[in-house]
Structure 1
């Protein structure tokens, strides 16, 4: 029996903070004889848990009965698979839907549900049928069907919960709720939803046609529709949890999967957070998990992952930890066309960054491929199987459908070896942050719906998409991270206090309550860096200049670059640079920092207001790291960690635990090998020793751990150090050679008789 709880943003197993490293294995896509092998591969890779979807579509038979014991086919023997996992000491993360996606037809919902209740398939704009196989989540007929499915599967899980001595350690409720209607820009607008929306909004939009809103009031309507859906999804999750608990699933954490990455980027990921955070924020023993498909991790998208984690944490309560429920694994060749090949190093980089930011659970998806079984009744859709991917599925996974391991398997095994070496520390550590926080405005991501016939709505969405979150051209967050800052995010729609310099990528639309909070923050002594456009309107399109007036500023119409017009700006003491957009500022009392090159009009100013100050930059200035660190230095913020690496691409942060123990996390996401000396608050770390960091690699270096003052080797476990790239370890107290280019260091652990510097650095006087 195990007690599994969420507390202090940790996963507590029998009261002990723990990391859970998992891989997704779909039993229903494997022959029973292969289950043991795939679970053994999980253990070999270093995982401690297995996650799996449990598809309603697979387990329901044509007569409506449910087979969970394999009576009608081994691929349905869920109980057998759970028991096999338990026998190997693996925890189970159960994902029973009702939606599961996973390339299954109907997203895992039985055909019968649609055939018996055709009205649960929603209509959308202009009364057209929704183009995806989604469902009106709160349709009574659908909820009755879901209750019947839960009545079948939840008792099976309840019997095998960890508190009852079984393997089931957590249960995910549904999957990617709201994603299908978002990606198709097709909100559910059935008669029932419209009636519910009218009641929720107090009939405020009776003058508009909700199925085709445009014209006066449409901006307010679109905003309200997105906010209404947050409540709708929250009610749906509450129903699922209540029914799961009614059927005995109590005493383990519940999970909600957050969708939103695409095209190798995470710029739209906060849309998923915005849609669903009301469903889990503040809910006991329930937390969210990321679902990210970023492909490689590079200088271009590393900030996407970092900011995604930070925004998730910004809407968690004090007990809810970060998790990742679909952590992309494998080559990324999902179409079997060799159009994409993700290097194995991406797995290492993404894993290292996520554990540094406090992810307590990572589920590698998909860990093992398999075969899609046939449907019981032919669908006449070209393959008559449960999924639309053909016979083989998961061909890009670390373990392919035939059980062969690929390069990604070795990458998972390697990085999990490093994570296990520091797992006891990581499980009870929190990321240390600099004197900077990134502002998160969830309502800036209420852009999932825009009526195609409403030009004004489309223009507002485009403006928000351009400037929100990570800033225009993503420069704001990327510059922070690659300049050495480690930072949290702050939900600006909730009350926040003084403290760190607040950095916000701002569009021309910013809700009046948020403007009031920011104005009060600065007037009361806060420090603000606003980059993008000076806000001038509320979410309903009405003029709103509360923040501008508090700062003593006004702004002109944005000036756009074109194929024949190249707006350029010049910062004090710097070369002129071209920008894509700028906005002139009127700031009679301000210190001008950046001007338009030709007119000399201010586009970047520093103002003092009340007892605080703000820097407002109204152009998309390039990602010149020294420019951005200079702005923040004017506001009194500097990164604790600095280094002398010659090429941008080093990410550095640190985690700290009880008693002053610390891990310094270094990533090189650049494509070149780098050598650097790392400093904290201006003082060299690790005795000033140079650290070699090959291209696309990472390190977790200990400080103040037990008797160890510091080391440029990673931990191999309590009291052990390990050389990078080998399995060799030595007791703390042995002095280890750490330069991978030294022939004596390859493949073994050696003592140091005489230390030498890394290339390009001086010899330290002593080391550890």
Structure 2
């Protein structure tokens, strides 16, 4: 039985962290399947995921082989059963779209040839450059049903509730992505008819369009918009497509359930990273939010490719997780269905190579934020088989990548251990050792929430000739989310703030909290009103960006500016001969004069000026509003732990975790469970060892001594963990496993005044031994400290007596080991 409850994945009554690896059976020779799965098991993974591509299983005559009649690699059941034989769960991804660098994104060539009406044109009727389709076209749905009728009966008897190992089924893949990346809405005649009915319901006779929906000229109005209605059309298309995608997923789920897929979660894969950046990721949330948000039995999974783990990457990843969670209900967990793995050398030309620690650092951050499933994509590479029909496209193989595929994967195309295999396996084993508490812990948050304005990400459709559409999309893209230059989020993370996000179109921030919001000139009236109401009721707001002055459709909207009695001038940008710089005042000072990319003149009638240009023109203000306050910083500021921490402190929000390091690079957060367990998460993304003091809830940890955090490393340190009957109150060692009555630790982090230690709760007898000293405290706590930082530490613990006894009576023992320092 599989349950999604309290943001946990509960399998047969036990909360789990599912660690999966993507292995494409169709890219691996049948006789090599077992060797690949043995490497999966060796790495410590507990599940395998795989696309099941329609284009591979359908033959040129239209028949479908999923049993291996024509090729042994087409025997899907055999592969799933081999996974089961090794105790591996299976995540099925049958499409119909699968992407995976396949021709037609996984749709058979025949479908396009026989049903040309499903292929959309975009703006001005120009054919779309991608192989997308009108998802709800009757012919496409009928073809999809035919595919599901072939593949799902293979999966149904193997579902986990039926005694099998299939624990999740993904419906389609990256829905809406192809239209977004090409800026080509799926404007088929069928879609335009549906859109016409939607517009009629929304507007009635008050519609902003010159032609009656569905009447003469309607197609031209949508495909080639005039500036008169370009603004409303951009907004309407975004809203409409959310509903259409939701209808599509309902159709797929209904087909699957009709065919017997029940009792396991259905997954939706959220796309959105682009060019190594995670900033556009919420575009995928915006497109697909109605396909899964608050719907029982549905789970969303991130799909991210951002390269090397850096402060920039980790800031993006933190936002991805926070924004995904903001639209989930109280039960829906965070998952990642495509978690970038490997060395980064995707083209096998050594153009790039990630540090092997990259996957570990990203994994640790995601788990600290509550991810319950991570699927490393691609875990094992393979060989793209030839197509069964000649299409004369240069290689006539299943994929456009050529013969070898997955050259960056931890396991290479020929089954060899890749550059990142050992590091990935080390990461998975570390997660497994900490699974009992990670599976039930949630991140603790300070009184800070990052504002998610989902409509600011509805920027996937804009006519290239429309100045209004282009202006709106440019403004929204520059200022949304983490703020320009990621200044908001990166600064908060470096300042030790732990925060989630609030979906501002749907709910208000927590009463009394500080809302942190990146926004530009375009901000919906309803959102402006919600921001104002939050401040008037005693909340506080930190807003980075120019003064909002337009609604999303381009119409004037000054709700926030009017509430603040705030006048403003034009945005002044840098140029080849002008270098705007700003100076801090009041609580923001001292802060060095800093060059910025732009600044906007603000003309406040009340409150304090906290930022000006070097000539004294205000561009940052702190304005009282009702019982609360709004700080507006109207300049393209760089990330600054000092400035933004001062801003949040002035607004009454202090960081629950604070660190002191000589250079940026350490990210900290804490997690806790309902039964009182707690952990500190430390991640050093820099290439330098950083001494780090940690203050938690106002108290210095480790008596104020600095932890020596190695470069490119991460740790889960106990603040109260129940491990095999012993409570670890605190310390500098991460649990590495419980085996044969022993608790193993990773090498302890050292302190600047000596070796690290672990504190064990009262009620535990610690036996003396070589290599460590035992220090009892008056409250019964016992501290164990290694004498030689490089030596293995073995501590024997008897849980029967609260006294430190060198000669205890024989009884049950617990062995705690600390392996050698790296």
Unaligned runs of 5+ in 1: 753-768
State whether residues 713 and 721 of structure 1, in contact with CA within 8 Å, keep that contact through their aligned partners in structure 2: no
Provide the rounded CA distance (Å) in 2 between the counterparts of 1:384 and 1:743.
64
Q: In the alignment, which of 545, 560, 574 is matched to residue 573 of structure 2?
A: 560
Q: Deviations over 1:734-753 (max 9, x none)?
A: 89889xxx99444733679x
1:593 counterpart = 2:613: no
Match of 1:384 in 2: 396
Deviation at 1:210, TM superposition (A): 1.0
> Contact conserved, 2:273 with 2:281, CA < 8 A, in 1?
yes
Whole-angstrom CA distance in 2 between matches of 1:241 and 1:311:
25
- 2:593 matched residue in structure 1: 576
Instruction: Tell me, in whole angstroms, the C-alpha distance in 1 between the residues paired with 2:360 and 2:338.
Output: 15
Equivalent of 2:618 in 587, 593, 602: 602
Shift of 1:136: 0.7
Specify the SS of the correspondent of 1:658. Answer: coil
Q: Of 471, 475, 479, which aligns to 2:483?
A: 471
> Is the 8 Å Cα contact of residues 675 and 692 (structure 1) preserved in structure 2?
yes
- For residues 18 and 138 of structure 2, the distance between their equivalents in structure 1, rounded to whole angstroms, comes to 37
Distance change in 2, residues 1:255/1:579 (3 Å): same
1:90-129 to 2 correspondences below 5 Å: 90-129=88-127
Distance between the aligned counterparts of 2:376 and 2:345, measured in 1?
16
Give the root-mean-square deviation of aligned CA atoms. 1.9
Give the distance between the partners of 1:201 and 1:627, measured in 2 at CA.
Answer: 46
Q: Deviations over 1:54-104 (max 9, x none)?
A: 000111122222111101111101010011111111000000000000111
Residues 168-193 of structure 1: per-residue CA shift (max 9 Å, x gap):
00000000011011101111111111
Aligned length: 744
Describe the shift of the 1:734–1:153 C-alpha distance in structure 2 as closer, same or farther (beyond 3 A): farther
Q: 1:566 to 1:658 in 2, by over 3 A?
A: same
What is the alpha-carbon distance in structure 2 between the residues aligned to residue 437 and residue 296 of structure 1? 27
- Post-superposition offset of 1:717: 3.4
Structure 2: tracts of 5 or more residues without a match: 212-219, 750-756, 761-765, 774-785, 797-822
Structure-2 separation of matches of 1:635 and 1:532: 18
Aligned to 2:67: 69
The equivalent of 1:10 in structure 2 is 8
The equivalent position to 1:749 in structure 2, one of 783, 787, 793, is 793
Shift of 1:142: 0.4
Contact kept, 8 Å, 1:737 with 1:745, in 2: the verdict is no
- The corresponding residue for 1:762 is none
Are 1:244 and 2:256 counterparts?
Answer: yes
The answer (yes or no) to whether the contact 2:447–2:514 under 8 Å persists in 1 is: yes
Indicate if the aligned counterparts of 1:39 and 1:85 stay in contact, CA closer than 8 A. Answer: yes
Residues 1:166 and 2:198 are matched in the alignment: no
CA distance in 1, matches of 2:196, 2:210: 8
Give the distance between the partners of 1:746 and 1:504, measured in 2 at CA.
Answer: 47
Between 1 and 2, higher relative CO (CA 8 Å, sep ≥ 6) is seen in: 1
Provide the rounded CA distance (Å) in 1 between the counterparts of 2:470 and 2:370: 37
Displacement of 1:686: 3.4
How far apart, in 2, do the equivalents of 1:737 and 1:427 lie?
32
8 Å CA contact 1:721, 1:730 repeated in 2: no
Deviation at 1:499, TM superposition (A): 3.5
How big is the shift at 1:15? 2.1
1:512, CA displacement in angstroms? 0.6
* Aligned counterparts of 1:364 and 1:429: Cα–Cα separation in 2: 22
Whole-Å Cα distance in 2 between the matches of residues 122 and 659 of structure 1?
54
SS at match of 1:405: coil
- Cα deviation for residue 160 of structure 1 reads 0.6
- The separation in 1 between residues aligned to 2:53 and 2:591, in whole angstroms, is 59
**SS at the partner of 2:560?**
helix
- SS of 2:9's partner is strand
2: CA distance, partners of 1:196 / 1:407: 50
CA distance in 2, matches of 1:331, 1:543: 49
Q: Indicate yes or no: 2:570 matched with 1:547.
A: no
- Cα distance in structure 1, aligned partners of 2:601 and 2:27: 59
Equivalent positions of 1:475-514 (< 5 A) are 475-496=487-508, 497-514=510-527
1:439 aligns to what?
Answer: 451
Equivalent residue number for residue 760 of structure 1: none
Cα pair distance change 1:651/1:134, threshold 3 Å:
same
Contact 2:512/2:538 (8 A) holds in 1: no
Worse-matched range after superposition: 713-722 or 14-23: 713-722
Match in the other structure for 1:200: 198
Q: Structure 1 residue 373 and structure 2 residue 385: aligned?
A: yes
- Tell me the equivalent position of 1:759: none
Confirm or deny that 1:709 pairs with 2:722.
no
725 and 117 in structure 1: CA distance in 2 versus 1, 3 angstrom threshold: farther
CA–CA separation in structure 2 for the residues paired with 1:19 and 1:590: 49
C-alpha deviation, 1:725, in angstroms: 9.1
2-structure distance, mates of 1:613, 1:575: 25
Which structure: larger Rg? 2
Q: TM-score, normalised by structure 2?
A: 0.88
Residue equivalent to 1:757: none
Post-superposition offset of 1:730: 11
**Partner Cα distance (1:216, 1:332) in 2:** 46
Q: Distance in 1 between matches of 2:555 and 2:240?
A: 21
**Which residue does 2:669 correspond to in 1?**
653
Contact 2:383–2:413 (Cα < 8 Å) also in 1: yes
Moved more, 43-52 or 568-577: 568-577
Assess if the C-alpha contact under 8 Å between 2:347 and 2:407 holds in 1.
Answer: no
Match of 1:763 in 2: none
Structure 1, residues 135-185: CA drift from partner, whole Å, max 9, x if none? 110110000000111111111111110001111000000000110111011
Aligned residue for 2:179? Answer: 181
Partner of 1:229: 241
Q: Quote the residue 1:518 is aligned against.
A: 531
Aligned to 2:747: 724
1:668 aligns to 2:684 (yes or no): yes
Q: Following the alignment from structure 1 to structure 2, what is the Cα–Cα distance between the partners of residues 734 and 342?
A: 45
- 1:640 corresponds in structure 2 to 656
Instruction: Show the counterpart of 2:87.
Output: 89
Give the whole-Å Cα distance in 1 for the aligned partners of 2:38 and 2:649.
Answer: 52
Alignment of 1:417 onto 2:466 = no
Is 1:537 aligned to 2:550, yes or no? yes
8 Å CA contact retained: 1:214, 1:453: no
User: Paired residue for 1:328, among 317, 336, 340?
Assistant: 340
**Distance between the aligned counterparts of 1:420 and 1:459, measured in 2?**
48
Secondary structure of the residue that 2:401 maps to in structure 1? coil
Tell me whether 319-328 or 409-418 shows the greater mean CA deviation: 409-418
Aligned to 2:140: 142
* Matched residue SS, 1:585: strand
Q: Kindly indicate whether the alpha-carbon contact (under 8 Å) linking 1:331 and 1:342 is maintained by their aligned counterparts in 2.
A: yes
Give 2:353's aligned residue: 341
Distance 1:89 1:551, change over 3 A: same
Distance in 2, matches of 1:730 and 1:412, equals 27
Deviation at 1:658, TM superposition (A): 2.5
In 2, Cα distance between equivalents of 1:116 and 1:630:
63
Q: Distance in 2 between matches of 1:734 and 1:44?
A: 35
Q: Secondary structure at the residue paired with 1:126? A: helix
Q: Is the 8 A contact 1:568 1:579 kept in 2?
A: yes
Establish whether residue 48 from structure 1 lines up as the match of residue 64 from structure 2.
no
Residues 568 and 577 in structure 1, CA contact (< 8 A), matched pair in contact too: yes
Q: Is residue 722–residue 730 contact of structure 1 (8 Å, CA) maintained in 2?
A: no
Residues 720, 731 of structure 1: 8 Å contact kept: no
